[in-house]
Amino acid sequence: MRKKKALFLDRDGVIVSECQVDSFEKIVYLPHMFSTLAKIRKQTDFEFVLVSNQDGVGTPAFPYEDYIKCQERIMSTLEGEDIFFDDVNIDFSTEEEGLDTRKPNIGMLKAKYIDSNEYDMPSSFFIGDRITDMMCARNLGCKGILLSEDEIRIPDDLESTVCLKASSWLDILSFFFPDSFMVHRTSSAARKTAETDISITVDLDGSGKGEVKSGIPFFDHMMAQFIKYSRFDISSAVSGDIEIDCHHTVEDYAITLGTAIKNALSDKRGIERYGYEILVMDDARATVALDFSSRPYLDFSIPFTSSQIGDFPTEMIKHFLYTLSVSLASSLSVRVEGENNHHMAEACFKALGRAMRYAVRRKEGYALVPSTKGCL
């Protein structure tokens, strides 16, 4: 008889981001988790097994009622995405109790998955975000996939167990489906002139990590908004002749950023292409629309009432956006209404991030270039 295979999954840090989920507000799902698990469920023969430590459920610090309402919400949401679990194993003990049912021990799993001899454990996998999950994988005799954005050192005795260190669910998707086009879209670009020296690395499928240290505080603040709301991961090194003014640095940053994003998009296969956002920030309302059309154009209207915000010239916002649209080869429309100059500028960059986040989105199974021409 052919043996079955299991895909063991931790919950917290793998399916949801919070470590103790005791309210609906804490249910935040990891990016690309739904699409990856749905594809694995549909196109492989793995049985899905949830294995989770939920410390101290049933105590005053973590009432059972708080736990179960969130657990049921998570499971019903997964089922709504065609992700069904064949087995659910939750341990409520604390580490101090030392029970054999608590990961990395396998007391909850041993009888069904090892003693029964019905499962092909060397061909099974455990996806977790901690070393204890990888220890559990070793104890089960299966392979471990460590999912974490952090740099975690794999102990020597687990090197043969851990088959993949994944920074996101897209890495896991690529592991199980090597031919999938849903991989991390990353690119680097650099520009060095007599006036500036700038290098930028972009991950379009990130989580909004990064910061810009250009020596121009207000510009750095605006870029922090863009990074946060686009959910791009952006790392950069910036040096420019800001002792003269900020023009060269802001302009060349836009050139380099646009080049990196454009290169990461490659042939734009499978993306939405169009992005649109209306965003309100107090008195300011920003409307941003963009099209990765390969035809640069800027339509701009922000009625600033001052030539500067702090030490930053407001005219440089238009120039940054124009330069970005050219280096991105995109059509960009930016219109902001409001009274406070800072609010109008910040609403602009937030809306730009959200519009771009939408425009670069992809859907699993759709890999066409979004144009009747067949190319962009």
- Which DSSP string do the residues of 194-259 spell out, in sequence order? SSEEEEEEEETTS-S-B----S-HHHHHHHHHHHHHHT-EEEEEEEE-TTT-SHHHHHHHHHHHHH
Per-residue pLDDT at 364: 64
Judge if 252 and 332 occupy the same domain: yes
* 10 included as an active-site residue: yes
Domains of the chain: total: 2
pTM above 0.85, yes or no: no
Q: Are 255 and 280 in contact (CB under 8 A)?
A: no
Domain presence at residue 114: yes
10, 133, 203, 291: which is the annotated catalytic residue? Answer: 10
Q: Is residue 367 part of a domain?
A: no
d(CA 335, CA 347): 10
* Distance (Å, whole) CA 8 – CA 120: 13
Answer yes or no: 12 catalytic.
yes
**pLDDT (mean) for 117-122:** 96
Q: Which one is catalytic: 12, 203, 233, 291?
A: 12
Residue 278 sits in which domain range? 186-359
Of the candidates 127, 204, 203, 209, the residue with the CA atom closest to the CA atom of residue 169: 127
Give mean pLDDT, residues 224-243. Answer: 96
Instruction: Judge whether 134 lies within some domain.
Output: yes
Q: Tens digit of pLDDT for each residue in 133-179?
A: 999 999 999 999 999 988 899 999 999 999 999 989 989 998 998 87
Q: Same domain for 164 and 244? A: no
Report the distance separating Cα 120 and Cα 241, nearest Å: 62
Q: Are residues 245 and 341 in the same domain?
A: yes
